[in-house]
Structure formats: C-alpha cells, structure tokens
Structure 1
Amino acid sequence: MSVTDPEAIPATPSRRPIAERGRHAGRGRESRTGLRRALALVAAVGVLAVSGCTQDHITFLDPQGPVAAQQRAHFGFILAVMLLVIVPIFVLTPLILWRYRYRGRAAYRPKWDFSWLMEFLVWGGPVVLVAVLAVALWRNTIALDPWRPLPAAATQTSGAGAAALAPMRVQVVGLDWKWLFIYPDLGIATVNDLAFPVDRQIALEMTSATVLQSLFIPSLGSQVYAMGGMVSRLHLAASAPGRFRGMNAQYNGKGFHKQSFSATAMTPEAFRTWVEATRNAPVALDAQSYAIVAQRGSAGEAATLLEELAAVGGAAAPGQASPDPAPALTPDAPAPIPGQPQPQPVADPGIIHFSTVPDGFFATVVKGGPEAPNPSAAEGLE
C-alpha cells in the first residue's frame, strides 16, 4: 500500500467531530434563545395577569362606569369589523399561492382583464366597512360627548330621585405634577384625591395652570385635555363603590410619571363622612397655600411645605387650631367598604385636604391668578 494513495489515508477523526460540535453548538444557542423568548413571553403574561388582579381598577377593559362600558363595547365592535378584513386576507393568501403556483391546476387565462364580481369585492367591501365604521363612530361620539351630562338611565340616579341628585360639580386644576380638585358647592378642595358618591355623576370642569395636560381615569372612561386659560368639561359616573386610578395622559416634564391620583366612589354615608373630615383639615386654600401647591414638584413635597405653614399658623382655617397638621394633610383612607377590594397606593402617595375655598377661586386660576408660577411650554417640559 502506497503512502501517497489517497484511498489509503484514513479519514481524520477530528474533522467530523468539530463540525458536529459546531452544529450541536448552533442548536444549543437556538434552544437557549427559544427558551429565553418563552420565558419572556411567560413573564409578560404574568405581568398582565398581575395588573389585571390589582385592587385599583386601571383599564377600560375592566369598566367601572357607564362611559367605560360603552367604550369597551365600541372597541369590541371595531375589532369584530376589522376581523372581517384581516381573517379573509390570512386565509386566502396561502390558498391563492397554492392554487396559482407554478404547475398548479388553475386555469391559465392570459387574456382575462375584467370581472364584475372582483370589482364588487374590491370596491364594495371597503365602502361598506367604511360606512359602518363611520356610522358607529358618529353615534358613539354623540353618545359619549364629554360636555353632556350622562343620561339618568346610564347611572344610578334614575327614578324619582334623579332630579334631586344633580351632577356634582368638581373643578380641576392641572399643576406640575399634581391635580387640584375643588368642590365649589361644598367649599372644600383636595390634591390627588377625587372622591364622589356612587349615586351621583360628577361634572368636571378642567383647566391647567401650566402646560397642556390630560386627565384620564381609564376604568371610568374618556380622557380630556386641560389647557391654560380655557375650561374643558367631562361627565363621569361609577357603577359601584371602589377606587380607580387616575393619571395625566399628556407628557409635561420630568415629574410626569408621578402625576397620578385616586378617584374613589363612595356610598353616600361614607362620602358625607369624608366631607366632614376634609372640612376639619387645618389648612385652607388661599393665595398663600395655592402658591405652595402650584410649585413644580410632587404632592408629597407640597404637603411637607404646607405642614410647615400650618405649624406656624399660616393659612389656617377660621376658628381652627393646628397642633399637628400631618394627620389632616395626609388623612387615612376611607373606611373599607364590605365586599369591595381595598385600594393600592398610587405612584405619589401625597394627598392634601383644604378645609375651605374662596368663592370664585377656580375662575381666578383660569384667568391667570392668584399669584402663582405659570411657566411657558418650554419651561414646563424641562
């Protein structure tokens, strides 16, 4: 046997194992990548599940009021209509590719140029869909007009007491980075604490003392913008007692992520108790306390400054002493409602209550007063 005979040279045992090791390594990397993707998917599903189980209602897909319920129904209808377009595309595309493939069994018609059926399907289908969507959009836009009070049939104010239970007015001022809620008919105000009785709808009048902002309570429905020097309106109602997370849906600076609040629907008895507790707060809303609240920062920072103000006797409500203002400035949550989930803390736990509010205070803010910072849009987005 000649040493130069290639057939006599045995195969190198190391070449094949190296290639095999490379293939196995590639499969290993692919399996690890697939495992990571699967774990990421499971984690995402877990996050969605946890968010769905939170005790604060945070989405219109879990509606807690008539407006959000109509929005979810509208959303489901739009999805169903869109499926009429998407499903045929995903079904027919592979069928057409298979039927008209090379060497397929479809008839070959090189001179074909027109079909009434195809023209009807291509143009008639989209026209019908657009018409249906336009009618649905118009009807729901009118039905959910935020400026209009909700019909009594959609709230718990139906019946003989509907006239007596008129919508409760709440005036809202968007600040950096907190919300001021004024109850003009009750003579009180709060920061980041919107409470209302479950048997009445609320009529919100909104403005901004800084840049453009957007008030949004997803589980109750409808986000509406608040602009400086202007007043927007929004009507909402809750179907049952509970706590709902509210937020600012418009970016307005570095503290944007902290600008959340709690909206709480209470029984009439619990709401009366809440009003009395707020009227006993040691700080009144006036130009001095408003200047502190209007400063850029969180509600917790403003509460600390107001505690110092109340401690030295400033901005105290008439006839009230202020030995230790901390408990009133950040009061305990309302008593738990039997059968209702207990609320979770929002991003910024600072809650401030004001015992009194001067008449016409909201109108003064809309006009640019009282003396308080009102930065330009450029300054507000720093």
Structure 2
Amino acid sequence: MDDRADAPGDAPSGPTGLGGSRTARSAPRPPAQALFLRLVVINGLVFAAGTLVLALSPATVSSPIMWAEVPVLVVGLAVMLTANAVLLRRSLAPLDALTALMQRVDLLRGGDRLPDGGNSDLTHLIGTFNAMLDRLEAERSASSAHALAAQEGERKRIARELHDEVGQSLTVVLLGLKRVVDRAPADLREDLQGVQETVRASLDEVRQVARRLRPGVLEDLGLHSALSALAGDLSQMSGIPVTRSVRPDLPRLGADVELVLYRIAQESLTNIARHAAATRAELSLTVEDGRLVLRIADDGRGGARQDGAGIRGMRERALLVGARLTVDSPPGEGTRVTLVIPDTANRSEPL
C-alpha cells in the first residue's frame, strides 16, 4: 500500500476517493439547518417571483411615488405575503400535528405515533420523537413488569400467611369453641354459638381474601375455571347475575397472559360490584382473527370519565403482554371493558 495515498494533503483518487465523495455529498444535513434552508428558499423564491413580475409588467414606480402607483405596490405586496404564508404554512404543518401528539400522548395508551407526511426537513424530527415514545413505552413496560412481579410475590406471601397462620389459628379456635359449646350449660350455649358463628364467618372471609390475593384456582384448574369462579363470586357477593361465555378450546397461553386476563377480569368485576349499580353483567373470552379478546360489560350507570387507580393498573398489566385495553363508559349505558391480546399462540413466557 502506498502511504502517500493517506496523506492529509492529498486529494482522494480512484474508487475509494469517489466513494468517499459520494458519502460526503449524501450525508444528511442537521434538522435545524435543513429547515432553515427550506424557509430561506421559500422566501427567496417568493421575492424573486415578485421582482420578476414587476420587472416584466408595464407598471412603473416613479420618485417620488405617485398616488396612482400606491395600489399597484399594495396589491403586489399582498400577493407576495399571501404566497409566502401559504408555502410556510404547508411546510410547517407537521409541527401542529407534533404539538397535538405531545399534548395527548399517554404511555398507558401505547401506539400513538405521528406518520411521516413526506416533509423531508421534518422527517428526522418526527422520527426522533416517535423513537423517544418507543423508548419511553419500553421503559415504562419494563418498570411496570418489575413492580407488578413484586406485587404478585407480595400477594402470594400474604395469602400464604393468611391461609397457613391466621386461617389455621381461627380453625383451632373454632374447634375449641365447638367442644366448649357441647359442654357449656344451657344459659351460655346460645352466646357461645353466636361467637362460634362469628369465628366461622371470619374464617370464611380470611379464605376469600387469600383466594383473591393468590388465585389458586388459576394455578390448579386453569383459566376457564378461574374466570367461572370470579363470575360466581360476584353473583354471590352482590347478587348481580353474570353471563359467562368462555371459549373452551383456547390456544395454549403463557402464565403471564393467563394472570393478566385473570387480574383484569377480577378488577372489572370488582368495579361492577362496587360502583356500577348494575342489574346484570357479561363476561366473554373469545378468539377473533387470531387475537384473544376479553370483554366485561354491565348495564349500570356508566359515565367513567377519568381513569382511576384500578383502570390505570389494568392498563399497566395490558402493556406487559403487548395488549390493548379500551374502556367505553357512556353515561347511563353501562361500561364495557375490552382487552385485545395479539398473537396469542406466541405468548409463553412467564411473568
């Protein structure tokens, strides 16, 4: 190799030199410089066109200006300003769309992006903003995954302690009371039986809390039985009949997808029992066009305008599996929660 070819003062030659020249010429300008050049070119073209029209037209301007020449100058200036405004407005139109996206963007409602409108000077700006949203959503999803995994672990620990410690202690107390009731005199038996019923009710409540914290039925019997148990608990607790429609031949789902489906259905049914004032509810889980679709609806009062902690928690869970959650709640027409999970067959990683 000739060392002189790499000397700083030598001009590039041959294929390498030509390739380097093409690379240098095709390097993109910085976004600010490109936009500045576009504005300069637009203004220059407008002024050049105005000057050309005045030069070729029979209109003349004397010194001093005569009153008859003033309308010609005013009309020419108005035409130039109008053309300049139209061209600048069209060039800067993507900035309005970008501002609107900045105002409405919500990381819990992913997928909202600004399309490239063909304005090459703003393409880099739009692409950078969309990439920033992708990065923020990925980071939000990762942090939510860690937080929710820790939350599930804490739920399991509390449920296990409730079942193994509090539940067992209440069971021992209940058995002891049974023996005492059998031996107690008649005047105390009724009071002891009341205490016994209170302890039994407390034991049942502890078991229900533990079951809500740790869905053992989901792990033992599967998603179909877990959703049926949720619907049955709502009907028993609130008296609201729940129509269930769960497809029996669901594709194989990962533990993360099953848990997300269960928790979102649990939160939705709990909201119906607490806030909806509904007379009936519906729960369905189907496969539509290769997508898993969960729907929970009621005929209550609706009108949920802002996302509370429960709905925001559901949105965070939906992001963990790349799903999309929508909540439709028109006033007086009930609430409909829809969760759509794409590519269900490929979801097999645990939470």
TM-score normalised by length of structure 2 = 0.22
Structure showing the higher helix proportion among its residues: 2
Q: Which protein has greater RCO, CA pairs closer than 8 Å, 6+ apart?
A: 1
Decide which structure has the larger Cα Rg and report it.
Answer: 2
